[in-house]
Structure 1
Amino acid sequence: MTTAVPDAGADPTPSKGSSKHKGALKTRAGYAWIGLVIAALIGIALLVFILQNLEQVSVTVFAWEWNLPLGVLVLLSVIAGALVTALIGGYRIFQLRRVAKKAQ
């Protein structure tokens, strides 16, 4: 007579032709490492872009005027756009949560 052992969710016997790590668990730490590697690659590409675009350009905003390298100017523009997008998205999430709380 055999008794059934509860399964932990992972198949201990790999199927034919499968790799050793096919049943590996996907964890938050694994995703964090992937995110860090992608961020590092983007950072390297960004550094190369800035170093290739070092010519000075004049920027005038209202009454202020600056001379900045073109690569830095583009980087600051992207950061400003991301912050505005995050601000608008955050406000929208706040609105949706408030409506959801009222509905409950």
Structure 2
Amino acid sequence: MLQNTTLTQVSFLGLHGTLPLAVAMLIAMVSGILLTLVLGTARITQLRRLARPRRRHNR
């Protein structure tokens, strides 16, 4: 990270700015990890609900 201090222009969803390349890469990595965790958790929850045995109310 110490070697990638060159300022880089960043534009994303209408936001524009300049920051060091290392910081931009770190933000991209953390954002990707968080997105993967959120989507993965949602999918696992969905699959668990489908796999749960259905109980009958006619006893």
TM range (shorter): 0.7 to 0.9
The aligned residue for residue 17 of structure 2 is 66
Q: Any stretches of 5+ residues in structure 1 without a counterpart?
A: 1-49
1:86 aligns with 2:25: no
1:57 to 2:28 alignment: no
Task: Report 1 or 2 for greater relative contact order, CA contacts < 8 Å, sequence distance ≥ 6.
Answer: 2
Q: Which one has the bigger helix percentage?
A: 1
TM-score scaled by length of structure 2: 0.79
- Post-superposition offset of 1:54: 0.5
Give the aligned length.
Answer: 54
Note the 1:1-104 alignment, pairs <5 A. 50-101=1-52, 103-104=53-54
Q: Which runs of 5+ in 2 are unaligned?
A: 55-59
Q: Which runs of 4+ in 1 moved over 3 A?
A: none
Identity %: 37
Higher radius of gyration, 1 or 2:
1
Root mean square deviation, CA, Å: 1.2
